[in-house]
């Protein structure tokens, strides 16, 4: 958990997981199935592909809807979550996952305009 809060965490979709193995990422997706042990769950991204999220601590509540997961990508292409937060669907405008995927495509197509960096201070 330590290093991950200070470093840039590119937003990715399932298709890009293999390119970010061993690196911290931010993944937004819809919760599909929660494993009975509560230690892992699957998410689907805006393109419909599925990824697995593994947790350090067991889930203490039922998880559903769209979540944003921050963590490292493991060798097997799963996300080892350091932290997650749920984007509530009962408040405000519901999150449009497909539109988010479209936006991610743009961001990754033009890295010169959308650099993933930590802003220099001072």
Residues of this chain that bind other proteins (CB under 8 A) = 93, 96, 99, 102-103, 106, 109-110
- Closest contact distance (angstroms) between CB of 111 and other proteins is 13
Work out how close the CB of 96 gets to other proteins at its nearest, in angstroms, rounded to a whole number.
Answer: 6
Beta bridge partners of 42: 52
Q: Which is nearer to other proteins, 57 or 93 (CB)?
A: 93
Separation between Cα atoms, residue 75 and residue 21, nearest integer Å? 6
Nearest CB to other proteins, comparing residues 30 and 39? 30
- What is the sign, positive or negative, of the torsion defined by CA atoms of 99, 116, 31, 63? negative
Q: Which is nearer to other proteins, 28 or 53 (CB)?
A: 28
The answer to whether the beta carbons of residues 24 and 2 sit under 8 Å apart is: no
């Amino acid at each position: 958990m330590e290093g991950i809060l200070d470093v840039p965490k590119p937003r990715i979709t399932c298709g890009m997981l293999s390119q970010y193995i061993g690196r911290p990422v931010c993944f937004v997706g819809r919760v599909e199935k929660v494993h009975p042990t509560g230690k892992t769950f699957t998410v689907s991204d805006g393109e419909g592909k599925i990824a697995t999220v593994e947790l350090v601590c067991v889930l203490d509540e039922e998880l559903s809807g769209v979540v944003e997961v921050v963590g490292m990508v493991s060798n097997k292409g799963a996300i080892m979550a350091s932290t997650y937060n749920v984007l509530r669907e009962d408040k405000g405008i519901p999150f449009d996952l497909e539109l988010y995927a479209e936006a991610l495509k743009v961001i990754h197509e033009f890295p010169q305009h959308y650099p993933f960096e930590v802003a220099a201070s001072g």
